[in-house]
Amino acid sequence: MCPGTFDPVTLGHLDIIARASRIFAEVIIAVTDGSFKKEPMFSTEERIGFVRQAARELELDNVRVEPLRELVTEHARQLGAHAIVKGLRAISDFDYEFQMAQINKHLAPELETVYLPASPRFSFISSSGVREVAAWGGDVEAWVPAHVARALRERSPRLASANSADTSGGTTE
């Protein structure tokens, strides 16, 4: 099982998912409703749809995507999963993920955590960075699937206000 918020799913996430799908017979992408730290930009259903579409486009037939609305360990047990797959970009990711792995091991000793290092070309990409660049009208096409880039453009407040501005060239009174 590969849990996360995927807000939005990035090419880095998809690289980890594709690599995990070559290691395990089945990979379940568990998309969380959110976290206590932040409110997601996209709804759980939107994020599930983004990941499903990307998995289809990558022809990852052994990948299943579903919502996660409980403890990761409980969800993994219900699914019969034996491993939690996490991608690591940097040492800071490892610090956080190592702590989470220890908590999960305490809660479910039968589960293993498997870390996959980010591929170098994706090691700097984060969902929060993608959201930030998109919010300022920047191009994120190289970091997310095309359907996600379109959704980000539609959701970006800066782009939305620029699109709704008067483009007639005249003045308003």
Domain with 59 in it = 2-120
CA distance linking residue 170 with residue 173, whole number of Å: 10
Establish if 41 belongs to a structural domain: yes
The phi, psi pair for 122, rounded to 5°, reads -115, 5
Structure-block tokens of residue 91: 């040492």
Neighbours of 169 (CB within 10 A): 5
**Would strands 27-32 and 2-4 be described as parallel, antiparallel, or unpaired?**
parallel
The phi, psi pair for 34, rounded to 5°, reads 165, -160
CATH of the domain at 60: 3.40.50.620
Q: Helix, strand, or coil here: 113?
A: strand
Establish if 32 belongs to a structural domain: yes
Q: What's the pLDDT tens digit per position in 85-119? A: 999 998 889 999 999 999 999 999 999 999 999 99
- The angle subtended at Cα 136 by Cα 35 and Cα 65, nearest 5°, is 40
The number of distinct structural domains making up the chain is: 1
CA distance linking residue 113 with residue 106, whole number of Å: 12
Establish if 139 belongs to a structural domain: no
Give the residue from 72, 63, 62, 89 showing the smallest Cα distance to 33. Answer: 72
Give the residue from 148, 160, 120, 143 showing the smallest Cα distance to 46. Answer: 148
What is the band of 81 on the pLDDT scale with cuts at 50, 70, 90? very high
141, pLDDT greater than 50: yes
Establish if 166 belongs to a structural domain: no
Q: What is the pLDDT of residue 26?
A: 97
Establish if 129 belongs to a structural domain: no
Let me know: does 47 contact 13? Beta carbons within 8 Å. no
Structure-block tokens of residue 37: 């730290």
Which of 93-97, 143-147, 160-164 shows the lowest mean pLDDT across its residues? 160-164
Q: What's the pLDDT tens digit per position in 55-78? A: 999 999 999 999 999 999 999 999
Establish if 152 belongs to a structural domain: no
Let me know: does 116 contact 84? Beta carbons within 8 Å. no
**Of 34 and 170, which is predicted with more confidence?**
34
CA distances to 65, 73, 102 from 138, in Å: 29, 37, 38
134, pLDDT greater than 70: yes
Rg of the chain over CA atoms, in angstroms? 18
Establish if 155 belongs to a structural domain: no
Which residues are designated catalytic?
A: 13, 38, 89, 127
Mean pLDDT over the full length of the chain: 90
Establish if 44 belongs to a structural domain: yes
Percentage of residues in the chain with pLDDT exceeding 70? 88
